[in-house]
Amino acid sequence: MSSVDEPIFEAEETGEAEALLDVPADHLWVGAVPEAQSPAEMPTVYLDWKVAHTLQLEGQRSIKEDREVAGILLGTASGDSQVIKVSHIAIARDEDSSPVHFKFTYSVWDDLMDQMEEMSRVAGEELKLVSWYHTHPNMAVFLSRYDLRTHRDFHRPYQFALVLAPRVGTADTSVGFFCNRGENLPLLPGLRLYGAPPRREVAGLLPWRFQVVEVEGIEEGEPGDAEDEVTREHVVPVLHQIGLVKGEDPRWLTLGEDRAEGAVLPILEGMAASVVETKADRIGVLLGSKTPDNHITITRVRFLGSMSEDPDQEHVDIVTSLRFMASTFPAAGKQKILGVVRIVSPHRFRAGDVYDPLENNIRIAQLLGEVGYDLDQVPFQVGLVLYPGIEKGTLLFQVFGQYKTSPPLPKTSLQALALASQRPNERWEPVDGLVFEVEVTPGLDISDLASAPPPRPVRPPAAAPAPANADTPPPADPDTTGSGIDWDQLPEEAQGEASSFSGALLLVGGMVALLGLLLAFILLSGRGDDADPAGATGGTEPIVALAGIDPYTWQISGCGSTWNPGLPCVPFAEAEDTTDSVDLLVLQRLPEYAEHTFEPIQVWLIPTDGRPKQDLTRRNVGENKYAFAVQRTEGSWGKTWGDATVFDATLVILPRGAELLGDDELTFLRRTETIRIAGPPPIEE
């Protein structure tokens, strides 16, 4: 451990490097080393004095109450993430905490996001979530393995983890700012305080001791962890040889274990069961490490969002996601992209069909070449294809090895860590050759896979992590990667069926009913253009996902009783002259939404003619049901609605912040609908 007794204070003026970011003109350097000795690769952090003082008080509250406290820090960052300005703090409610843990529950995160939204509104700008913090009362500055798991969701280069370690009987507090720099989490040696009192007063009010080396921390947890450790000793995965070893080295590919998520093999089996249920292929990226002789160990799988049924669009979706992931997991890093897995839905097959996986976006080297990934760093790549639900009690698979851009070569074996009781070597059967020939119509039996652990795809990080315990194991990570879901607008007669079955598409049972429903969808979708719009009732028409995940359904509800999709929407047509807010749509959040993201839902109205976009106001109108309203208040009426003429706009529904971040891991949850809308007249004085 390395620290100093007193922080170094230096009065400085801001340089020109931060000219593009709204940073204070003056600041006070506080740190363990002089500012000139701060490594150039580390970010420059500006911290508002009020936030710093609040953090100090939070540390003392943690000591007084003898439990961990936590929260998030908000602010802005430069485009290159080298300059970070922390301007706001949101304190989490203490719903479940102890001296050695703090649990971020769903309700805690909902409250934090509400605080973030309100602070952004008051500040007049979109604040970013730049850090999460928690305390280690009477302990040291370190990140436990559960802290590291929580922080994996804060992977953006401008985000950091802050640990405050106050001690009883003193105001002195050790602090550690763990910054994201590649695969590492170096400790920030100091920062710039702005809005602070005179330097002579800061040392007494902010007795921080910056650590620049992480100490070896104890393993945190609640009483009973010791017994849990004993139990875990009896369920340690063992290495299984799967398939038939032919010409390849039997160690060429190993499905290993992620310290936080567990063994990769049961994760794949859980997702395979999900594919049988949802009837939609899933594609995942395989991450891990390799030896100099190209022995590959996969330690993590990140599933992309549901892919388009159009092969060309699917290719675009995959490349878009890979481009984002390539920046997160560079080829020169410790954890890198080493392959792709495709789980193929059995519902596409009939006896006699021939399926060529190499024609279905499994050539990982080609895909990585399109995003500029350095194949010299990862010359040997893996393509894995799983066929669940074809034969009873069996998971058929194909596996290919590819050296750079050479043709993929079929192999028939791999190794995998799994519990001894799972016996994957008895259930996984290789398909030899380049293509898969379907001998019998699939029986769609998933009884053996259904008992496997559920899939544990990761989230990510967008603005905040899913509910997790800072120092005790959090729940499974939701899937937050992907894009490109196709949408169809159904005629009126399909509304009842669509809303009734929007959640049921993910259930195992009712296969016959679901097949019938899909046929109905196809027929109705084909009639959509010819349907009589006048048949719409109450101005509502559901937008229903026919492919992939159903996170929510929604209805346009505020365009007037005579509206139909062929006419402009007039939100204020039936409102009083003094009404300043009208609900434009009502949205129902389905259980699948909570499984795939932790963020609140946000709706934007974005005009296509250059008018400013409008963030619709959200309010609860029932359990997991929300209404989103348009405003014509003094502040926004003139800019958005203009002269009350009709204009084209796009409704965008998405988790908060994802739309404005570009190629974000939450993109697959984005919904859009084009609408012609008429601006209301101004409110009469």
What pLDDT, on the 0 to 100 scale, is given for residue 54?
96
pLDDT for the residue 572:
82
In this structure, what is the dihedral angle of CA atoms 55, 59, 60, 61, given to the nearest 10 degrees?
90
Which residues, 6 or more positions from 211, have their beta carbon under 8 angstroms from its beta carbon? Answer: 1, 2, 3, 32, 141, 174, 175, 176, 187
* Cβ-contact 544, 502 below 8 angstroms: yes
Q: What is the pLDDT of residue 102?
A: 87
* pLDDT confidence of residue 20: 54
Question: Which tokens go with 14?
Answer: 């801001």
> Can you give the pLDDT at residue 486?
27
What pairs with residue 209 in β-bridges?
A: 174
- Whole-model pTM: value is 0.40
Question: What CA–CA distance (Å, rounded) separates 261 from 477?
Answer: 9
Confidence at residue 237, expressed as pLDDT on a 0 to 100 scale: 82
Residue type present at position 8? I
> Distance between terminal CA atoms of the chain?
66
Q: Residues 6 or more apart from 96 whose CB is under 8 A from it? A: 102, 103, 105, 469
pLDDT of residue 233: 39
Q: Which residue has the tokens 């992620």?
A: 258
Measured distance CA(543)–CA(431) in Å, rounded: 40
Q: Are 281 and 342 in contact (CB under 8 A)?
A: yes
Encoded tokens for 96: 């479940």
Mean pLDDT by 10 residues, the chain (685 residues): 40 46 84 87 93 95 92 92 94 85 77 88 90 90 82 87 91 92 88 87 85 62 39 64 85 85 84 85 89 89 74 82 77 87 90 89 84 87 92 88 87 89 86 88 55 33 43 36 26 31 33 38 36 32 41 84 80 80 88 69 84 85 89 67 79 69 54 82 64
Task: Say how far apart CA 133 and CA 234 lie, in whole Å.
Answer: 35
Residue 226's contacts (CB-CB under 8 Å, 6 or more residues apart) are: none
Instruction: Count CA atoms within 13 Å of residue 477 on its CB side.
Output: 29
For 551, the 3-state DSSP assignment is coil
- DSSP assignment of 180-213 equals -BTTB-PBP-EEEEES---HHHHHHH--EEE-SS
DSSP state of 305: P
Can you tell me the distance from the alpha carbon of 653 to that of 216, in angstroms, rounded to the nearest whole number? 44
